[in-house]
Structure 1
Amino acid sequence: MSQDLYDLLGVSRDADADALKKAYRKLARQLHPDVNPDPETQERFKEVSAAYEVLSDPQKRAAYDRGGDPFGGGFGQGAGFSFTDIMDAFFGGQGGPGGQGGGGRGPRSRMRRGQDALIRIEIDLAEAAFGVSRELKVDTAVLCTACQGDGAAPGSHPVPCETCRGQGEVAHVQRSFLGEVRTLRPCAACRGFGTIIPEPCRECSGDGRVRSRRTLTVKIPGGVDTGTRVQLAEQGEIGPGGGPAGDLYVEIQVAAHETFTRHGNDLHCTVTLPMTAAALGTTLTLPTLEADVEGAGSSAGADPGVETSFDLVIEPGTQSGSQEVLRGRGVPGLRGGRGDLVVSVVVETPGRLDARQEELLRELAALRGEEQPTGQVKAQQKSVFGRLFGH
């Protein structure tokens, strides 16, 4: 290789390590065989890689600056460079996939974040609307108190791995058209931790955590619905090695109510009236959702401002299928506001009449001129699509 190594990388002779790495990344992206398979470009890539291998090593760079032969007999003869440098050029890492300098990832920590946990609970509609606190029994991984998450039996400690000398990685060298390519792999003896536990804790078998059942209190805010998840930060599984806990998610399932059905933040209910009440009008007393809240109403200690019932006025001549909308009597929203209560009226026609009832109804029909009603036949109303497309 006759060309100056600094010229090959396009840097000055006083370039620092960052400038060298930046120049090499740029050239490697342009010249790598996977990007440009041209034979001349491959040869150029070999030269650039060899130049970077020399100049990135302080001892080899010093020898080259003094006029010595840094390759010890030519390119590819004893010259090796880390495969992580090539990966670094393409993926922008800092010295390799592990994000640490020096061309390797180093030992990985035994301490890792725990997994998130999910439990499902069923609550009543009123509890979902106004909020409630619940005690939960949770079976999760907790910190092992015998070893405090260390994984080693009391009185012992993890020791450095003799195979990788505590690095967590071992080098693997193979020949290729690039010369000797060195890759780093997790040490099989210590599984990449860099240490070995000679005497694992008997309580947790070296994992640093054990299974345990504990009791938590979760506060469910008003306005939740089926499928809503309440997050309890750091109340999930403790991580291996005593790592930080994950989060616990409580998923809500709202039980069906005997009176009300929920649509968003609106409540719907149906009242059935006899024909006479619909014709003459009446007033009905209906319960509110607050009536389901423990302690609500006029009992001792109850909030006097909470209405557990309300009066619904049925106007004379109310028809079956009509609706009464009561504003602000639905479910409170998670972000404020409150839905409505929609009351649907169903008028019930009597199915059995005694002689006197039948006689009175016939008299009423005669007074109204309805002995032989013809009925009113109307065309069926078109749907939205029918009106748009003429169907």
Structure 2
Amino acid sequence: MQIPVGFTSVVEEFIAHNGLKMTYSKTPLGNEFFIRSNDLLFEQGVNDIDITVFSWEDTPCFFNTGSKSALPFDIFAASFYLISRYEEYLPQVRDEHDRFTAKQSFAFQNGFLEKPLVDIWALKFLEKLKERFPDYAYKTREYKFISTVDVDNAFAFKHKSLVRTIGGFLKDLSGFRLRNVWNRFAVLTNIKKDQYNTFDQVLKLQKNYQHKLLFFFLIGDYTTFDTNVSASKGKFRLLIKNIADYAKVGLHPSYFTMKDEVMLKKEKDRLEDILNRSVDKSRQHFLRFSLPETYQNLIDLEVAEDYSMGYASHVGFRASTCTPFYFYDLDFEIQTPLKIVPFALMDTTLNDYLGLTPKQSLGKIRDLRNEVKAVNGTFVTLFHNESMSDYLRWRGWKRVYASMIKIATS
């Protein structure tokens, strides 16, 4: 809402103030703008809360307040519950990658995962304030778009070790995947360009549409889940340096860094050594993070922004907002300096998890963009360089990224 806020518990100070003001307590002082408080923001620790969702002007909400309150629910406690990811601290069944799942989430179970509900609430709250304080000079924020690209595999065939290259040839031959054998041979002999080397088209689109662009490079050691080119390869290091000349570059911490601060530091140092500058942006590989441990480790390593807040299996708003916010650590009861930048959709979600066609995916992208634009929020998308390759499972997807950029910036 872009309204500066001050707090007081002194009644005389409150009465003397002439501008916008409201009370947040159990009972009003008089006839002032009043929101009845739920107990949540006055508690410490995490408890299993029984929540009843009801509708207010066709908008879901919870923490009912009663008739005296200017809003029928405690917007502050409800927003805090969603944005702090309170539910992710509670006991839960996690998926095969040890992740909190979308289907377990309060937002999914109550049908608002694909809506930036906190932003919608804020605008409805703003309308109520304008009715009560019409002379205040209210500001309006602007819609923003950020394209983020994860580089899990910079190259399909090039610059891999001899063992991986020979192993790939043998695996394709034994499976009679002759097209793959030809593609690998053609790329390695420079007859064809490497399929995953789509960086030029990403940068060209950024130049044409002038949107904010971020790359996250996976540079961890090789594992079953981390299969990028080795960070010791000169061509890979050169690629990262070249990309950093045109766009912001962040770290894509590998699969096993979720609770391993030593490994996380090693990878951050490695990327900083390549770039010869500090790295302050991050997104977890496989979106594997655990609250609050992963974020506490990022804070200890002076990472300023994390872009992992979203689900692999579903599009939408994991924290029910399309506005970047600072992580609140429920363990220590403090707001931290780590800014969380939530994303709305990922290419692999659309293709692999939801099984949408490119055309259906563009419809879903447009719907989510419209939700964000309606609240003048920040529309963040997650694509991979691989999905622009038109190769293997990405056949038919070559133009989806370019179309998404047009939709997001129109």
TM-score normalised by the chain length of structure 2: 0.21
Higher helix content, 1 or 2: 2
Which has the bigger relative contact order, CA under 8 A and spacing at least 6? Answer: 2
Higher strand content, 1 or 2: 1
Bigger Cα Rg? 1
